[in-house]
Amino acid sequence: MNALKDQRPALRVALFSGNYDYVRDGANQALNRWVDFLERNGVAVRVYSPTAEKAAFDHAGTLISVPSIAIPRRPEYRFALGMPRSIKQDLADFNPNVIHLSAPDLLGYSALRVAKKWKIPAIASVHTRFESYLKYYKLAWLEKYVVKYLCHFYRQCAGIFAPTPEVAATLRHQGVPDNVGVWSRGVDGLRFNPAKRCDAWRKSLGFASTDVVVLFVGRLVLEKGLCAFAETINELRRRNVACRPLIVGDGPEMKSFKQLLPDAVFTGFLQGDDLARAYASADIFFNPSVTEAFGNVTLEAMASGLPCVCAAGTGNVSLVTDGVTGLLSPNRCPKEYAAHISTLTKNDDTRRTMGAAAQKASTAYVWDSVMVGLLRKFQDIVRHTRPDVVAETTQISIPESQLR
């Protein structure tokens, strides 16, 4: 195609997010990498999201703050108050030809209505299994209504991308149409790798060289399986299994979690090389969460050479090969978790073999390769819904460090 002769507009993406930079989590890390990738490859992007007075990190791309309020009981997160006229005017000035919806909130629904009115394809990405959170806050009775709303929301989208095949299957089972693809995730293998292990750091936390350290990484919130983690450690104590818990993360349940595990080591929130060191300096990774859409922390642990004991849920079953890179728990109960951790604690060779296999398996998850696949899927949707738009980019640029 001769770009000089083609008068069609190039791809322009408006991204709507519920949290783009004010609390660091797996969802907004993926979105920031997506925006960075798009801009490196000549795609114009504009992001609309609630913001806080102090951001958690430096975001990628141009971010437009939308009016929002703190969510009750979870004030670290914010709820967007729809799309006021000023934001709609900014969106019109940007003149997108694709709208990307990363959250089915009021802002996302408002953007969906605009997309329909302006005849712009709306493409949704799924990052959170909201319906699975409700039981942790005594709101399980709302689940069927939330699922009904989610189906209503996603049925109106030209394309939907789930993080794993299992989440895609769950969406279809709930009633979402078959146009559900998969947008997987990647891991920075240069940062997260076994070489970051530091025995001096372990010692500074009070661990002996012979201790088997069981690691938890994540936000300290109920839906991450904190109670299951604590019950499993206590079950291991009853079985006289010699292992020691290491907790990396912060959140509203910090105080209560410490009460459940008074002998655990809590580092608080870590990031960057400090986080990579923590992963590599542990011996077993334990993720009992059943609410994950994608196990980002599980993948980082695998890249760091740790065998993973996980709930057999949507966020982990596509990552962990049971008996090869870790052990999955179909029953998702503390006694089963404890049996798995006990097996790995008592068998150094099995632990090391699974850890090495996990690290090798993680190398299949390369961020920019994942992004190339997603961009091509976006282009396919645009070609079918907006033939007046040039969906192709002239050349996809991937840093040499990502070509592995």
The percentage of the chain sitting over the pLDDT mark of 90, rounded to a whole number, equals 80
Question: Confidence band (pLDDT; 50, 70, 90) for 387?
Answer: confident
* 111 within 8 A of 86, measured Cβ to Cβ: no
Report the side by side order of strands in the sheet with 159-162: 63-65, 44-49, 12-16, 98-101, 122-125, 159-162, 180-182
Q: Residue 3: what pLDDT?
A: 45
The confidence score (pLDDT) of residue 268 equals: 96
Domain 194-362 in CATH 3.40.50.2000: yes
Could you tell me the pTM of the whole model?
0.89
Under the banding of pLDDT at 50, 70 and 90, the label for residue 393 is low
Whether pLDDT at 403 is above 50:
no
Is the pLDDT at 113 greater than 90, yes or no? yes
Average pLDDT over residues 12-24: 95
Ramachandran class of 73: left when φ > 0, alpha when ψ lies in -120 to 50, beta otherwise: left
Question: Rounded CA gap, 315 and 223, in Å?
Answer: 13
* pLDDT recorded at residue 400: 45
8-state DSSP, 202: H
- The residue ranges of every structural domain in the chain are 12-186+366-402, 194-362
Q: What is the pLDDT of residue 74?
A: 81
Rounded CA separation 258/226 (Å): 10
The pairing of strands 68-71 and 74-80 is: antiparallel
Domains 12-186+366-402 and 194-362 agree in fold = yes
Q: Please give the average per-residue pLDDT across 108-134, as a whole number.
A: 92
Average pLDDT, the chain: 92
pLDDT over 90 (residue 178): no
Provide DSSP, 104-156.
-SHHHHHHHHHHHHHT--EEEE----HHHHGGGGT-GGGHHHHHHHHHHHHTT
The Cα–Cα gap between 85 and 152 comes to 25
Report CA-CA distances (Å) from 31 to 27, 39, 186, 355. Answer: 6, 12, 12, 29
pLDDT, tens digit, 9 for 90 and up, residues 332-368: 899 999 999 999 999 999 999 999 999 999 999 999 9
| Domain 12-186+366-402 grouped into CATH 3.40.309.10 | no
Segment 178-195 shows an average pLDDT of 94
User: What beta strand segments (E) does 202-307 contain?
Assistant: 213-217, 244-248, 265-268, 284-287
What tens digit of pLDDT does each residue of 26-62 get? 899 999 999 999 999 999 999 999 999 999 999 999 9
Contact by Cβ (8 Å): 321, 308 = no
* Integer Cα distance of 174 and 150 in angstroms: 9
pLDDT tens for residues 246-272? 999 999 999 999 999 999 999 999 999
The answer to whether 151 and 174 have CB atoms below 8 angstroms apart is: yes
- pLDDT at residue 192 above 90? yes
What is the maximal distance between C-alpha atoms in the chain? 75
Whether the pLDDT of residue 8 is over 70: the answer is: no
- Tokens read off for 93: 């000035």
Inter-residue contact 258 to 200 (CB < 8 Å): no
